[in-house]
Amino acid sequence: MEEVKEKKEQYKLYWSSEKHSEWLKLYGEYCEKHGEPVFTEVRPVGSQYQLNVMCCIIQKLLGDVQVRMLEIGSYRGESTIVFSGHFHHVTAVDPFGYLNRHSKIDDMAEENESQGDATDVQVKTSDESELIRFLFEHNVADILPNIDFHRLTSDDYFEVHPDTKFDFIYVDGDHRYSQQMRDYTNAMNSITENGIIGGHDFSWESTQKAIKDLGWQDKPIVHFMDDSFLIIPEDLL
């Protein structure tokens, strides 16, 4: 019993007692239906260190710019917190409605079953998506003043905000090839001159194919140990 209580309490970082009561109710309802949730640790300490290094490189390349960035895919907000500590403003976009199965090559999996990958299960149920949303909204977005949160798909966000420009765009949302192509194409239309586009899971087959099909394979690319990467405009080098 003590261990279960500790698990329930561990997410009470910054929010008020009223918000914590809401969390305990949501958490209890989930446990009654599904048992203990298992939250994916997206950014362990080593990965967060790499993300900080990446942010420092971006700031150095962009100079005195007050960096405004767009993060596509926030999950619990580990990366969002890091970004908010480095950059002037962070726009975070996540629908919190995850697929049960994230394929590394998606649309082509039916044609070639070997290209599919069923191991990257992020969220099992819509109820768990709500727990993730609660953690992000009340432990990140409600606390840090330079974060602007939009609970939308990336497609919807770009449609609603077609003219908004960013100095840095980081893509870590739906990893299917078709969605990555849309996200990176939209990112190219929303980046400032000499702005930087990057993302996560560089080693995934879907990401590699997107980079190739976008014609980025010959551009300067920085690949970090947490599998993040940056496409560096040549004018900044």
In a domain, 18, yes or no: no
Provide the pLDDT for residue 5: 55
In a domain, 115, yes or no: yes
In a domain, 3, yes or no: no
Q: What six digits make up the tokens of 72?
A: 């596509």
Q: What is the CATH number of the domain that holds 204?
A: 3.40.50.150
Closest CA to 74 of 154, 176, 189: 154
Closest CA to 177 of 129, 210, 132: 210
Provide the pLDDT for residue 125: 63
Question: Domain count of the chain?
Answer: 1
Q: What six digits make up the tokens of 145?
A: 């003043």
In a domain, 121, yes or no: yes
Provide the pLDDT for residue 99: 53
Instruction: Quote the Cα angle for 47-7-74, to 5°.
Output: 40
Domain residues for the domain of 197 are 38-236
In a domain, 55, yes or no: yes
pTM: 0.87
Mean pLDDT by 10 residues, the chain (237 residues): 57 86 92 86 88 97 97 94 97 81 42 38 65 92 94 96 97 92 97 97 94 95 96 91
Provide the pLDDT for residue 10: 73
**Whole-number Cα distances in Å, 133 to 26, 73, 95, 110, 140:** 11, 12, 9, 31, 10
CA pair distance 195, 1, nearest whole angstrom: 51
In a domain, 127, yes or no: yes
Q: What is the DSSP letter of 98?
A: -
Question: How far is the first Cα of the chain from the last one, in angstroms, to the nearest whole number?
Answer: 57
In a domain, 29, yes or no: no
